[in-house]
Amino acid sequence: MECYNIAYSSVFARFGAWRPPHGEDGLSLAIGFFDGVHRGHAEVIREAVRIGLSRGLKPAVLTFDPHPRLVLGQDPERVRVLTPLEDKIRLLKELGVRLVYVIEFDRDFAGVPAERFVRELLLPMGVQTVVVGFDFRFGRGGAGDAETLRTAGDGRIDVRVVGPVVADGVKTGSSEIRERLEAGDCEGAARMLGRPYEIRGAVVGGDGRGRQIGFPTANLSLKHPYVLPRNGVYAVVAQVADKGPDRPLAGVMNVGVRPTFAGGDNAPRVEIHLFDFSGDLYGREMTVSLRHFLRPERQFASVDLLVEQIRQDATQARSLLRDTVAER
């Protein structure tokens, strides 16, 4: 799959006609930020792929990075995403997309009028079909919508709008998925995503407390600013780089500040104890798939009580994950 970054200055802030780098192929293009690439997003993207294949057009996606809220002044610590760009591109490829354009979102781009976006970006790209979600907005102040695409395209762009996808009786959306993760509802988030929620990072050294109490943990330094679930303990399935694609590892994950130990951190840590595994994981990349919320994080009166609770957590997680790991 081809992927191109597009800077604002390369299209809107210089003289001369801009030409896309992919050649002269016509495009069937899905447009959106697509955080999560959830079931609603997947319907938009699959429609663009279906139209592209049926009409001899290249199935493509136009997305944005970084998150618009980050550029428009929100606290960076509060702007977290479900699927950082690297993960998003992988998921788009799995959906059949052959070409991805990534607009480098900055304040100048945020000020581009919707009509100009169509005339100076989409039309020169050779876009013949655009597919968007029912709530799609674009351009300065979010003034553009599907009808703007049609009128500014001057009849040269066929615009398709995909309706909402419902899960658990509500519209599937990135905000709804965040709410479920913040409540510890892994299963609800997975139903909206169409897959379990995943986070990824490198295993780094810790203070060794888990090993001291008989439950060694891998401390995960997240590679991207992922949305973190509610503080607590989870049954998880992990995949470790260099361990082969067919060896999922079951375990328990703690997200939180470890209140039982004095001098705990204010920032939450992500720690994973893998069952039936021994070896050095330091420096390796680990992908962790959240399957079940077991309990909230809490402070224990003694380390012995904590150890007993971890044993119970591990027993429960093994039972919940038995079939999941066996199927892989």
C-alpha–C-alpha distance, residues 171 and 194, integer Å: 14
Encoded tokens for 286:
């680990």
Cβ atoms of residues 114 and 124 within 8 Å: no
Cβ atoms of residues 197 and 292 within 8 Å: no
> Among 98, 85, 86, which residue's Cα sits nearest to residue 26?
98
Cβ atoms of residues 229 and 181 within 8 Å: yes
271 is catalytic: yes
Considering 271, 285, 297, 327, which one is annotated as catalytic? 271
What residues have CB less than 8 Å from 25, skipping those under 6 apart? 57, 58, 126
Give DSSP secondary structure letters for 259-317.
TTSTT--SSPEEEEEETT--S--TT-EEEEEEEEEEEE----SSHHHHHHHHHHHHHHH
Maximum CA extent, the chain = 72
Active site residues: 271
